Structure 1
Amino acid sequence: MLDKRIFSRFPNIKFIIPHAGAVLPIVANRIPLAKGLNPELSADQLEIQKAMSTQYFDVAGMVMSQQLPALLQMINPDHLLYASDTPYTPTPVVLDLANKLETTDMLSEPLKEKMFRQNAVRLFDLKLSEL
């Protein structure tokens, strides 16, 4: 998406990147180095920090202990969303992963409240009476 300039061409679209960005938060600092491999790349094809700062990220799957800390260093915590990967992940695994997020000391209680509820309410402009 960065290479195809999706983020710069469509700045008003709010993308939700799944699985805490997968490997992206861990390797993002290497993206600007691609200019050395391909001098034809433009600045907006290399601005991973800028692109990530405007996107939303769900925490489906096993995002602890490397992905989540790396992601939180790069994004606004108001862009972190809980997702369970149901029905693709078996229910016992979903419950276990949710419990790990609920009980981790890696996230403050206010950040957990944002991730589990408030950020999605704001993003989707939900009314509390609808929930």
Structure 2
Amino acid sequence: MIRRALLLGAPLAAAALAAAALAAAPVQAEDRVLAQSPARCAAFWQGYADVLGDEGERALADRFRAASIRLIGEAATDATIAERRPWMRDLLDAYIHAGDDQSRDLFRRLVADCGRLEADLPYLR
């Protein structure tokens, strides 16, 4: 249900409401992955800021983290960020410092995916 709402462009708030309504039901793995998307974007932007030292990206990461906490809770959010942040630093190092084409392509995809998700962040306030 969450997956369908996100694919149809529904705001994350609708997905959060659907998740709350289904809290008693077993959650499919695919829905958990989509609910973790804000945490993954937070890890991406924190990794970016780690490599380039940009406070604007840290602020953006904080907004994604806050949205993720509303969806999956603080512990799950922070665990996802802690797991993925080093990967994002490695990705940025490979792209920026080593000029790796595959890393560049993945970076661009993450920027686009997180950019689309960013449009939904105001709905979670």
Whose radius of gyration is greater, 1 or 2? Answer: 1
TM-score by length of 1: 0.30
**Larger fraction in strand:** 1
TM-score by length of 2: 0.31
**Larger fraction in helix:** 2
